C-alpha cells in the first residue's frame, strides 16, 4: 500500500463504527437467507466511499508498509480492516458488492480484494467515479421489485449531496447507513456572526437541502454608536443542526434510528 493512498484515522471510534456495521450486516444477510419470502430478493452491499480497503491506525509509523495479501488479521502492522473488507467477511454473504471510490489509485488497491476473497470475486464490482452521480443513476435503474440493498455512506467530508439521500429514499428498498459530517464539516461552515458566504451557503444547501438558513439564523438588533445595527446571527448549536437533519430524514424514510 503506497503512502499516498493510506487512510489514517484514530482508534476506538473507527473500530466501534466498523464493529457495529459488521453486526448489522450479519443480521441483515441472515434474514435474507433464512426467511423464505426474503430469499426471493438479490442483496447488494454498497460502499460509496470505499477507500483502499484497509485503514491505517494513527499509531502506525510512517515507515510501515503492508500488502493486502499480508493483512491476515485486524491491526496487522498498524492497519485495520475497512468497511469494504468487513462487508466481504460477513457470512452469510451478499449476492453482490459495489465499491465506489473516486481515487483511481485506491481502486487499484481495491482490486486486490478479488484475489483475497476468490469465492466472491465475481460478485465484486469496483467503480472509479463520483458517488453522488453514480449512485443516483444506480438507484433509478435497479429493479427494486427483486433487489434489496444496504448503502454505507461514510464520506471524507461533505461529499454526500441531499439529492442522493432523496434518491435512495425513493427506492423504498435500501437500508441507509449515513455517518453525517456534523462536526467535521457542517458546523465549520455555519459562521456565528453572520450567514456563511455564498460559496459556503451553496455547499451547505447541497448537503442539507433547502431552508436551512431560516432554521439556523435569527435577525437581531444590536446597539451601536450611530444607531442600532441589524444582524443575522447563528442560533443553532450542534444539537439543533442534528435535530434539523434528522427531521428532514424522517420526512422521506419510513424509519430513522
The domain limits of the chain are 3-179, 185-241
Going from the C-alpha of 4 to that of each of 51, 65, 109, 205, 236, the distances in angstroms are 12, 12, 12, 31, 38
What pLDDT, on the 0 to 100 scale, is given for residue 56? 58
Low pLDDT (below 50) residues in the chain: 1-10, 60-79
Measured distance CA(54)–CA(155) in Å, rounded? 15
Cell numbers that stand for 27 in this block: 443480521
What pLDDT, on the 0 to 100 scale, is given for residue 57? 54
What pLDDT, on the 0 to 100 scale, is given for residue 219? 87
What pLDDT, on the 0 to 100 scale, is given for residue 11? 57
Query: 181: how many CB neighbours lie within 10 A of its CB?
Result: 19
For residues 96 and 21, is the Cβ–Cβ distance under 8 A? no
**CA nearest neighbour of 47 among 154, 119, 123:** 154
Going from the C-alpha of 246 to that of each of 239, 250, 257, the distances in angstroms are 10, 6, 9
Instruction: Read off the DSSP letter of residue 58.
Output: T
Considering the entire predicted model, what is its pTM?
Answer: 0.82
What pLDDT, on the 0 to 100 scale, is given for residue 85? 93
Pick the CATH number of 3-179 from 3.40.50, 1.10.3470, 3.90.550, 3.30.70: 3.40.50
Amino acid at each position: 500500500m503506497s503512502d499516498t493512498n493510506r487512510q489514517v484515522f484514530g482508534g476506538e471510534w473507527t473500530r466501534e463504527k466498523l464493529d457495529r456495521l459488521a453486526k448489522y450486516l450479519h443480521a441483515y444477510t441472515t434474514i435474507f437467507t433464512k426467511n423464505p419470502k426474503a430469499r426471493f430478493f438479490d442483496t447488494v452491499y454498497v460502499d460509496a466511499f470505499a477507500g483502499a480497503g484497509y485503514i491505517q491506525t494513527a499509531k502506525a509509523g510512517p515507515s510501515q508498509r503492508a500488502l493486502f495479501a499480508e493483512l491476515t488479521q485486524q491491526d496487522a502492522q498498524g492497519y485495520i480492516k475497512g468497511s469494504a473488507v468487513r462487508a466481504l467477511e460477513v457470512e452469510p454473504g451478499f449476492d453482490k458488492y459495489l465499491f465506489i471510490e473516486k481515487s483511481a489509485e485506491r481502486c487499484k488497491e481495491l482490486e486486490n480484494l478479488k484475489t483475497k476473497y476468490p469465492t466472491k470475486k465475481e460478485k465484486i464490482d469496483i467503480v472509479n467515479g463520483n458517488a453522488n452521480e453514480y449512485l443516483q443513476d444506480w438507484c433509478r435503474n435497479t429493479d427494486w421489485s427483486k433487489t434489496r440493498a444496504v448503502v454505507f455512506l461514510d464520506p471524507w467530508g461533505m461529499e454526500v449531496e441531499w439529492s442522493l439521500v432523496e434518491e435512495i429514499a425513493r427506492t423504498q428498498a435500501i437500508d441507509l447507513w449515513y455517518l453525517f459530517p456534523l462536526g467535521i464539516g457542517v458546523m465549520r461552515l455555519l459562521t456565528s456572526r453572520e450567514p456563511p458566504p455564498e460559496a459556503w451557503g451553496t455547499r451547505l444547501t447541497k448537503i442539507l437541502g433547502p431552508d436551512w438558513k431560516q432554521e439556523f439564523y435569527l435577525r437581531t438588533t444590536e446597539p451601536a454608536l450611530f444607531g442600532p445595527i441589524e444582524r443575522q446571527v447563528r442560533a443553532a448549536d450542534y444539537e439543533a443542526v442534528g435535530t434539523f437533519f434528522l427531521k428532514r430524514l424522517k420526512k422521506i424514510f419510513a424509519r430513522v434510528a
